[in-house]
Amino acid sequence: MARSYLRTSEVAEAVGVHPNTVRMYEVWGLLPPIPRTPSGYRKFTAVHVDQMRLARLVFDGPWPGRAIRRSAVVLVKQAAVGDLGGALEGAYRHLVVVQAEHAQAESAVRLLERWAQGTAADATQTPLSIGKVADLLGVTRDMLRNWERNNLICVPRNPKNGYRRYAATEISRLRVIRMLRQAGYSPMAILRMPAQLDEGASAGDLRMALDTPRPDEDVYSAADQWLTSLVDWERRAEEIIAHLEGMIGRQQSAVRE
């Protein structure tokens, strides 16, 4: 007699993952409840396969940033408890989140390009101390020191006492760095900026530099190629919507049958 259910290995094969991934998604609450046989084996259905494919649209790839991941996980868990309508609503909200992140990333690049063309981003008259700059930009002193340690900026010192002196040039650069960081770009991506400028790159080249790791870099997160990653996440968001609409249609058909 043919089985009416799928085994863990069969679900894994259908989705293209290791069986342990299926078990892990169950533990994380990303799958609907899975009934068991009297001997304890999991009994999966086509609904579980659909849900696995939905989850993979979210979890298969580099870390996309906290806001994008959070909104995606919420909708996957809604689908897991059977609220496909709520999950579809969440998917459209998720698309808006991704598009907003993309718009912020593009705005940061435009500020960078304008600054690289010589447009001042600050008009501070006299040099400021690190504390005053931190207050001005709404960041911590440790963040400013960290950006300096990571070679994102070089700050001149007062020859008399060795204190940092932030003039308009440094503060303009810091405004650009802060906006890039807030927009999701990684320190490694931003570090390509001064290197490109020192090599005489044009403003237009900086956009490519931000989004193109050098051959000697190890790319660990989406933030190292943030613009490309956001384009990919917009595509995924559209796929999530389409997949959920398909799930709703298939479940409605199953009810009618």
100-136 pLDDT per residue, tens: 999 999 999 888 888 888 887 788 888 999 999 999 9
Q: Are residues 113 and 176 in the same domain?
A: yes
Asked if pLDDT for residue 202 goes beyond 80, the answer is no
Q: Domain of 46: which CATH number?
A: 1.10.1660.10
Q: Which of 89, 32, 94, 24 is nearest to 58 (CA)?
A: 94
**H-helix or E-strand containing 243?**
helix 226-256
What integer best gives the mean pLDDT of the chain? Answer: 90
Q: What's the whole-model pTM score? A: 0.84
Q: CB under 8 Å to 29, separation ≥6 — which residues? A: 77, 80
pLDDT of residue 210: 80
pLDDT of residue 149: 92
Asked if pLDDT for residue 73 goes beyond 90, the answer is yes
34-49 pLDDT per residue, tens: 999 999 999 999 999 9
Asked if pLDDT for residue 1 goes beyond 60, the answer is no
pLDDT of residue 219: 58
Count of C-beta atoms within a 10 Å radius of residue 247:
19
Number of compact structural domains in the chain: 2
Please state the rounded mean pLDDT for residues 220-236: 87
Where in the sequence is the domain holding 132, given as residue range(s)?
Answer: 105-220
Confidence of residue 74 (pLDDT cuts 50, 70, 90): very high
Instruction: Please indicate, yes or no, if residue 236 is contained in any of the structural domains.
Output: no
Please state the rounded mean pLDDT for residues 191-212: 75
- Report the distance separating Cα 13 and Cα 212, nearest Å: 34
Instruction: Please indicate, yes or no, if residue 161 is contained in any of the structural domains.
Output: yes
pLDDT of residue 32: 97
Q: 14-29 burial by CB neighbour count: b if 16+ within 10 A, else e?
A: bbebeeebbeebbeee
Q: What are the Cα distances from residue 31, in Å, to 73, 148, 167, 177? A: 12, 45, 55, 41
Q: Which of 16, 82, 6 is nearest to 52 (CA)?
A: 16
Instruction: Please indicate, yes or no, if residue 194 is contained in any of the structural domains.
Output: yes
- Report the distance separating Cα 178 and Cα 185, nearest Å: 10
pLDDT of residue 204: 67
**H-helix or E-strand containing 143?**
helix 141-149
- Report the distance separating Cα 63 and Cα 137, nearest Å: 27
